[in-house]
Amino acid sequence: MTDSSNASHENVPSRQRRRFPGISSRAYEHPADRSALVALRKLSGFDTVFKALSGLLPERSLRLLFLSDSVRVSDAQFAHLNGMLRDACYILDLEKVPPMYVTQDPQPNAMCIGLDEPIIVVTTGLVELLDEEEMRAVVGHEVGHALSGHAVYRTILLFLTNLALKVAWIPLGNVAIMAIVTALREWFRKSELSADRAGLLVGQDLRASMRGLMKIAGGNHLHEMNVDAFLAQADEYEKGGDLRDSVLKILNVLPRTHPFTTVRAAELKKWSETRDYQRIMDGHYPRRDADKDTSVTDAFKESASHYADSVRSSKDPLMKLVGDIAGGAGDLGGRLRDKFTGGAGGSGTGKGDATDGPQESRSPEDPEGPQEPGPARS
């Protein structure tokens, strides 16, 4: 039988789904993903590390490891996953179908890694947890990573995370590595939002995408869960608490590579309701053959505009305070001191104090947050 890694797009999706010939990853990439990647590439020392590791990382060893100790998806093994993989590549018009492996691990997980060519790996825990349509969104998510070229950065992140643990005893050595690891994690959290969108374009079933995220968060107990209540958690997480909670959120996020699942669900649902998503579904989207003509400056401006809009509309107390300061509401240092010490020094600013989240009427925002270090939870 033909190995899936060499298979062409002879088959079509198992149910009628729209296909996106020549689609560029720019069509679904989150603005925060692009801006975080720009910031990562500008980080001092990153180019040096990237070039060095690109030549040193044992990619052949990695491929042999999965080949020898996991099950390669094909027409003969996990055929239903092979069909989903080929469908996803057909829909997103990814010319070469990447090899896919199932590895024994009870933790629901999936990842797309590799330097020269991407490899997709899913765990038995994930395969057993999700139904067909939920799994289809996950496979599309990983194919989205492959199309966006995320695999190489992710591989370096995994390598540096392990290296940081090994050199923790070396003075200053770990600090330099962790600076790059932190920047990589910040980018990867945002890249997950892009890949979630790719998963929706492949599955074309928002409810299945929502169910999959709920199962990753709460296990195989759908009869005990509710999508609306799950999304309400994301809203409560974003706007709840005071400035101290905002700081704790940042600290919770830093060691993670993935956004929190409730936040991912809310972010994906919001995108599914936009004109941008509908235009893609109608066949109007950026094409790969025009990628060379795109402006990095324009992409960065778009990302900056997204962040500005996020700060303005955020319900998070800290982001609201930053927005007030940017709008001329007063001194940031003094306002922060007053919030943390219980003082009232900011009340005479002319725009009022930045009160705690639940006391304010604020417009909804596009929440972003993350998930666990190590291999990805799709």
Contact 193, 33 (CB under 8 A): yes
Contact 196, 268 (CB under 8 A): yes
SS3 264: helix
Determine which one of 10, 128, 132, 142 is catalytic: 142
Residue 359 CB burial class (10 angstroms; 0-12, 13-18, ≥19): exposed
Residue 162 CB burial class (10 angstroms; 0-12, 13-18, ≥19): exposed
SS3 23: strand
| Entry field: residues in the chain | 378
Element (H, E) at 331: none
Contact 301, 233 (CB under 8 A): no
Residue that has been written with the tokens 């700060």 in this structure? 311
Element (H, E) at 72: strand 71-72
What number of H helices and E strands is found in the chain? 16, 4
Contact 112, 146 (CB under 8 A): yes
142 is catalytic: yes
Element (H, E) at 308: helix 296-313
**Residues with a known catalytic role:** 142
